Amino acid sequence: MDGKQDAAAIKPSRWLPLLLAIAIFMQMLDATILNTALPAIAADLRESPLNMQSAVIAYALTVALLIPLSGYLADRFGTKKVFLASVGVFVAGSLLCAAAPDLKTLVLARVVQGVGGSMLVPVPRLTILRVYDKSQLLNAINYAVMPALIGPVLGPLVGGYLVEYATWHWIFLLNVPIGLIGLLVGWKIMPDVRGGKPSLDAGGFVLFASAAAALTLAVDLVSHPGAGLFSLLLALGGAVLMWLYWRHAQHYPEPLYAGNLFWVRTFRLGLAGNLFSRLGISSVPFLLPLLFQVAFGYSASVSGWLLAPVALASLLVKPAIKPLMARFGYRAVLLWNTRILAVLIMLLALPGKETAWPVWAALLLAMGACNSVQFSAMNTLTIADLRPYQTGSGNSLMAVNQQLAIGLGIAVGALMLQLWSKSSVGRENLHAAFQYTFIGIGLITLASGMIFGRLHLSDGRNLTERAEK
């Protein structure tokens, strides 16, 4: 007996969705809590707060590169073992982050944390998909996701207060008790489900992961002194590796991501729109805490309160998204919502240090609502027209694309900010460097709307008709 369990024969615990909730909560709390603490971490590690993006990018990039392995490892070793191992590695990485004496060590510790984080959500989600009947699936997923959405609301607040009244180390140590709860619950109720014949396109994985890593690092390193030529070589190497992967996918029997995914027009446009629109959107949560604390001199707790409306609005607006899509259609909503988001990002350049907080709250509430509409619309449209045999691979590639967009977006935002802060304008007035950066990433977001302009009016209609039924 190897401990393998047949998914059809398993009667899942009614608490199984709690595991997914704990995993999503831990991951989303970690993702949002760090940004508020970056200035304090930079001061303690004797780094410029404008050079801390590597600590965020390292995690997002690691998660993106390892997501494709989650399904294979779960099939090979069983969902229970892989989930418990991922939580253990995530907690160990958190402890290493808390003990980091310098930025380089922190970045390496974030990579370790990302190795665990890459499996945290996909494995329990895969388990739920396999052991629950389709009639119970929607309720199980909703039960898991809704409590976990509180993470982004609490993250900035918890991060701000921990930095202000304790030390920055506690933003990582907080993962330890949550992780221990996850280990205990996982040990008790996680079934050990495996797939039939696990297979992995190892060559395709190496090509794809290397290409994605090279392209992201090229953007991150370009602002470092003397790294211009190296960044260019990395970018060229990444492009060549991506082309080699494309050729590989055309001929390999079971490629990591099948080339026929891109024959589906809505998947192709949705994936591109997801990537390019998120470049600007993803850099905002990184830039705003720096603006509030470094340029304006606000405390970390005040910064956390100012950021909370983004996540709160995102949570509150979700019930209105389906009716909005049914009324106006995916093409119109994505076109206009992208334009509104671009304007909102550029409007972040207007308020100053003395601006009343309700002004910031109104602006960030609007941004959070538009973010929620944007992400939900893009994600559902991207996989809407995939065939059943394509959904697994398409979902995985979409998740990877989202994580890569976060890393690239932060790298682009940080690059713009560093370039403007080193200019004559930025040296005299740091706030001006932030202003020009917000205008720049707003223009990138505005340009990304052209991708959604290529959608047809009928795209997504099957989703809205299904929702109405």
For residues 328 and 385, state if they share a domain.
yes
Longest dimension (CA), the chain: 70
Residue 288 in contact with residue 306, Cβ under 8 Å? Answer: yes
Residue 458 CB coordination number (10 Å): 10
pLDDT digits (tens, 9 = 90+) for 367-402: 999 999 998 889 888 888 888 777 777 888 888 888
For residues 153 and 56, state if they share a domain.
yes
Cα-flanking dihedrals φ and ψ of residue 137, to 5°?
-65, -45
pLDDT digits (tens, 9 = 90+) for 27-80: 888 878 888 999 999 999 999 888 888 899 999 899 988 988 888 888 888 888
Q: What is the DSSP letter of 264?
A: S
Classified as helix, coil or strand, 5 is strand
For residues 23 and 158, state if they share a domain.
yes
Amino acid at 16: L
- The residue that leads in pLDDT, 412 or 122, is 412
Structure tokens of 416? 């713009």
Burial of 143 (0-12, 13-18, 19+ CB in 10 A): middle
- Helix, strand, coil content of the chain in percent (nearest 5): 80, 0, 20
Average pLDDT, the chain: 86
Given a cut of 90, is residue 21 above it in pLDDT?
A: no
Cα-flanking dihedrals φ and ψ of residue 312, to 5°?
-65, -45
Least confident residue range of 167-176, 252-261, 447-456: 252-261
Q: What is the pLDDT averaged over residues 84-103?
A: 95
The reported pLDDT for the residue numbered 143 is 67
What CATH number is attached to the domain comprising 299?
1.20.1250.20
For residues 217 and 292, state if they share a domain.
no
Domain range holding 422? 260-469
Q: Minimal CA–CA distance to 304: which of 317, 285, 318?
A: 285
For residues 158 and 52, state if they share a domain.
yes
Classified as helix, coil or strand, 168 is coil
Last residue of a domain, one of 209, 233, 255: 255
Residue 120 in contact with residue 31, Cβ under 8 Å? Answer: no
pLDDT digits (tens, 9 = 90+) for 288-345: 999 999 999 999 999 999 998 998 898 888 888 888 888 888 899 999 999 999 999 9
For residues 188 and 325, state if they share a domain.
no
Last residue of a domain, one of 214, 231, 255: 255
As beta bridge partners, residue 468 has none
Domain count, the chain: 3
E strands present in 290-356: none
User: What percent of the chain is predicted at pLDDT more than 90?
Assistant: 42
The reported pLDDT for the residue numbered 2 is 46
User: What percent of the chain is predicted at pLDDT more than 70?
Assistant: 90
pLDDT-based confidence at 467, cuts 50/70/90? very low
Please state, in angstroms and rounded to a whole number, the distance separating the CA atoms of residues 52 and 35: 10
For residues 223 and 311, state if they share a domain.
no
pLDDT digits (tens, 9 = 90+) for 221-267: 876 767 777 888 999 999 999 999 988 988 888 888 877 888 889 99
The reported pLDDT for the residue numbered 109 is 96
Quickly tell me which residue has 């982004």 as its tokens: 152
Least confident residue range of 125-129, 131-135, 154-158: 131-135
For residues 380 and 466, state if they share a domain.
yes
Last residue of a domain, one of 163, 179, 198: 198
For residues 237 and 156, state if they share a domain.
no
Cα–Cα–Cα angle for 72, 76, 77, rounded to 5 degrees: 120
The reported pLDDT for the residue numbered 469 is 45
Given a cut of 50, is residue 3 above it in pLDDT?
A: no
For residues 125 and 272, state if they share a domain.
no
Structure tokens of 209? 């992961």
pLDDT-based confidence at 194, cuts 50/70/90? confident
Residue 42 in contact with residue 51, Cβ under 8 Å? Answer: yes
For residues 278 and 234, state if they share a domain.
no
For residues 151 and 293, state if they share a domain.
no
- Could you give the C-alpha distances from 295 to 130, 224, 409, in angstroms and in order? 50, 22, 21
pTM of the predicted structure, to 2 decimals: 0.87
